[in-house]
Copies of this chain bind each other. A is one copy, B any other.
Amino acid sequence: MGNYSAAALTDVFYALADPTRRAIVGALGRGPETVSALAAPFEMALPSFMKHLSVLERCGLIRSDKLGRVRTCELQPRALGDAEQWLAEQRATWEARSDRMARFVEQLHQEDLHREPRKARQRR
């Protein structure tokens, strides 16, 4: 298991369950941005946009700093990494199971091959 907490992971997945917030994460992946530059592509009132930023900031996906009257946002890749790690762990569990299944099917197949000549002899 990773070193993230279940509550933190819940908040990160909740934050990502919104297309506007995912678009903000995508934009900040290319570098820090001011709030006004970030908000520009969205047809949304600024207070609604600020609420999305606040959800992202509370769960640690972004941080923001104010210099004078300009607030700048920055991606915090660690929270994204925790979510990715959780998903990778689920895939690892799933793939380990699929491998066991494949080995089991292969084993049945091999047993069948060994049994086949005997059946063939019985038929003659």
Residues on B with beta carbons closer than 8 Å to the beta carbon of A94: 29, 75, 77, 80
Q: Do B30 and A93 touch across chains, with their CB atoms under 8 A apart?
A: yes
Q: Nearest chain B CB to A72's CB is how many angstroms away?
A: 15
A31 interfacial by beta-carbon distance below 8 Å: yes
User: Among the listed B19, B25, B77, which residue makes an inter-chain contact with A10, where contact means beta carbons less than 8 Å apart?
Assistant: B19
Q: B81 to A91, Cβ gap below 8 A? A: yes
Number of copies of this kind of chain in the complex: 2
Within 8 A of B (CB), among A1-35: 6-7, 9-11, 13-14, 16-19, 22, 25-26, 29-31
Residues of B within 8 A of A17 (CB): 10-11, 13-14, 17
Q: Which of A37-45, A63-71, A82-90, A111-119 touches B?
A: A82-90
Please name all residues of chain B whose beta carbon is closer than 8 Å to the beta carbon of A51 when the two chains form the complex.
Answer: none
